[in-house]
Structure 1
């Protein structure tokens, strides 16, 4: 049974004025939710469509309701976690695969510091996890009256991978990082975590308003015109955006937001730089990072190995935050170029569809 790709009977829009919304109401549309966005200077509107109208006909009518309006379906997005093979562990925790790219062990006295704050859009996070105790973590709700939070497994793992306490069982890549996290997801009836485009855009807008240096999005879904517009506006604010390339397999179509040119699209490799078998490939891939058997926090306590492009993306997010701290005068675009330039070229010479520019190289990033 195929999973639904969008909310049934809904379209979302940017750039509708009050008069247009009123006219659409007379046509049988219902504005279910409206929220102003700082990035676009307009509202994002969620509309139920009239009975008997197709989604495509509704999208076209809404887009034509105001000059310059953009309308699309309210697509679903999912976290990018793959299946994890059991990893043998010794005392304490599993080996930290990060050392394969030169990232220092947490007890080496060379943990990395970074420019911040770092924005994170993910599922809910367990702030009481021992790895996150004392971490500068600010969890921002989308709204006070929103639905209950999503599952905590994925978000906790990604947050700890970036900023977990260095003395914990799930030490993070960065020391003293500041994280601002938004849960854009909700539980479905099948217990899966999904994010509507409407909420994903609101989360991006919220983080942009908080002055983050970089936004990590370990999630993916279909192309969406409103999302495309939003990430382009974020790029104009000189904010770096990093996204997981997806786990639908090497022959799958590109997923978004990773495939938009404004983002750094991250695929996954193992500690021997072999591609993760489910990782996406394509011309849009920018860089590869470790994404199989990555040791990070479990949802309640301790740690476990995780696999997927979701856990490769935080390596690049941490790297660009470090580079920004070391090179504050560089633009977001120049930081992205520096990541590509310093990557270890392990595939075909130059940029290729499997590894992008190569595997992230952390050997020159972290200094004591």
Structure 2
């Protein structure tokens, strides 16, 4: 649990008990010094009160975790029910594009065997920039996605098969002012940064924007906030791959893979992804291929709480996984988890621009992620090891050294706070 770990509770409990003991012992000392005494409650009452307070805090933290888990399940259920023609549930219970499967590495006779069993070839998507292609296959008429996925896996035992799973943005905005601050036009960091998200509004802008979903590019509040955070932290060139558009099944795996390929072709040396979804073979292949070109991929751990499944793409190997903290440097209670954690950054009481250019107050690991990406981009031109540079900048919080709550420490502590 990111905010209320057992060791933190034990430390907190010890602190309260010691404080209580100090209060109890103060009365006789005060009497010896001739200082007027203050009525001190019975020691047993104080310790019982302390225990009750800590137990209540633990209980509320556990309830918050449970609430986030239930909310996540309700969101998925509502999404599927509202979009029955576009979205279904895959074999692992994750939402995905309805009736469509993604295949890589099928053997020679596999496709013919699949077609003989009612599957149809929808097309081949070549992601040339990353050196691989994906075959899109539709499920037989009337077959649910999960059933089709299992059947196709039996027909293509050597292939990588996955549903076109969906990924979700990880933050909230509330408008703080009707007018926004100016977006910097000449940042100090020359390294281009790519964004996988929705498109930014015209006020925020980007060096280039390309759509990878129906109706894209379509300006969004989330994409605007991420792009403006990069610009206000010094990034001169921002490229944005819009993987949402107006598509109910936007944020899908194939769109993300295609967007990654395009961002690599645009020369992006750092790519920030404030989206969360399940593990997916196509996205993993794309990220691995992008990393081989020297690109650093940075991703959010999500806002579904510590009881949620591990977040992807943050959990893929060598992806820089980022969590968020509030103004007092406490981990966000809603922060999700990844299989590893690299850094924390401000994720509450952070300000950026919305789609209309208005100043908005932000909360979520979505908005911590571009702050870390910007610091990595700033470190790259200096040569040497960018990770060593960031570790030297990081504020060590929690346990000494790297930990599961703050990773290697807090980056960009004062960024976007004003």
Smaller-chain TM-score range? 0.7 to 0.9
Match of 1:294 in 2: 350
Correspondence for 1:101: none
Which residue is 1:142 aligned to? 212
Out of 45, 50, 54, the residue aligned to residue 135 of structure 2 is 45
Give the C-alpha shift of residue 337 in structure 1: 4.6
CA 315–31 in structure 1, closer or farther in 2 if over 3 Å, else same: same
2:376–2:390 CA contact under 8 A, matched in 1: yes
What residue in structure 1 maps to residue 234 of structure 2?
174
Whole-angstrom CA distance in 2 between matches of 1:26 and 1:93: 58
- How many angstroms does 1:348 deviate by? 1.3
Separation in structure 2 between the aligned mates of residue 124 and residue 18 of structure 1, nearest angstrom: 39
Aligned equivalents of 2:119, 2:166: Cα separation in 1: 21
Partner of 2:320: 264
CA distance in 2, matches of 1:305, 1:36: 40
Instruction: Please state how far the C-alpha of 1:293 moved relative to its aligned partner.
Output: 1.8
Contact conserved, 2:321 with 2:338, CA < 8 A, in 1? no
How far off its partner does 1:28 sit? 1.6
Partners of 1:303 and 1:81 lie apart in 2 by 15
- SS of the residue 1:293 aligns to: strand
Residues 216-251 of structure 1 show CA distances to partners (whole Å, capped at 9, x for unaligned) of 101111111221222122211111000111000133
Q: Distance in 2 between matches of 1:64 and 1:341?
A: 50
Asked whether 1:185 is paired with 2:241, we answer: no
Q: What is the CA–CA distance in structure 2 between the aligned matches of 1:253 and 1:142, rounded to whole Å?
A: 26
Contact 2:107/2:158 (8 A) holds in 1? no
SS of corresponding position for 2:330: coil
Separation in structure 2 between the aligned mates of residue 121 and residue 37 of structure 1, nearest angstrom:
16
Shift of 1:338: 3.5
Is 1:357 matched with 2:372? no
Contact 2:171–2:366 (Cα < 8 Å) also in 1: yes
For the residue of structure 1 that corresponds to 2:128, the secondary structure is coil
- 1:154 maps onto 2:222 in alignment: yes
Aligned position for 2:7: none
Q: Normalising by structure 1, what TM-score?
A: 0.77
Matched length: 324
C-alpha separation between the residues in 1 aligned to 2:370 and 2:209?
17
Report the equivalent of 1:113: 188
- Alpha carbons of 1:281 and 1:198: their partners in 2 closer, same or farther (altered >3 Å)? closer
The structure showing larger relative contact order (alpha-carbon pairs under 8 Å, at least 6 residues apart) is: 1
Question: How does 1:42-121 map onto structure 2 within 5 Å?
Answer: 42-51=132-141, 53=143, 55-56=145-146, 58-59=148-149, 62=152, 69-82=159-172, 113-121=188-196
The answer as to whether partners of 2:346 and 2:413 remain within 8 angstroms in 1 is no
8 A Cα contact 2:125 2:136, kept in partner: no
Distance in 1 of aligned mates of 2:109 and 2:196: 33
Change (3 A) 1:69 1:42: farther
- Cα offset, 1:31, TM superposition: 2.4
Distance in 1 between residues matched to 2:338 and 2:153, nearest whole Å: 31
Give the deviation of 1:312 after TM superposition: 0.4
The answer to whether 1:314 aligns with 2:404 is: no
Stretches of structure 1 that go unaligned for 5 or more consecutive residues are 95-105, 164-171
Is the 1:114–1:324 contact (alpha carbons within 8 Å) kept by the matching residues of 2? no
Distance 1:235 1:69 in 2: 23
Q: Map residues 241-280 of structure 1 onto 2, 5 A cutoff.
A: 241-280=297-336
Offset from partner CA, 1:98-132 (integer Å, 9 cap, x none)? xxxxxxxx8xxxx96224221111112212x1x44
* Structure (1 or 2) with the greater helix fraction: 2
Q: Is the 8 A contact 1:81 1:309 kept in 2?
A: yes
Conserved 8 A contact 1:46-1:198: no
Pairwise CA RMSD? 3.1
Contact 1:115-1:324 at 8 Å conserved across structures? no
Quote how far apart the aligned CAs of 1:38 are.
Answer: 2.2
> Are the aligned partners of 1:231 and 1:262 in contact in 2 as well (CA < 8 Å)?
no
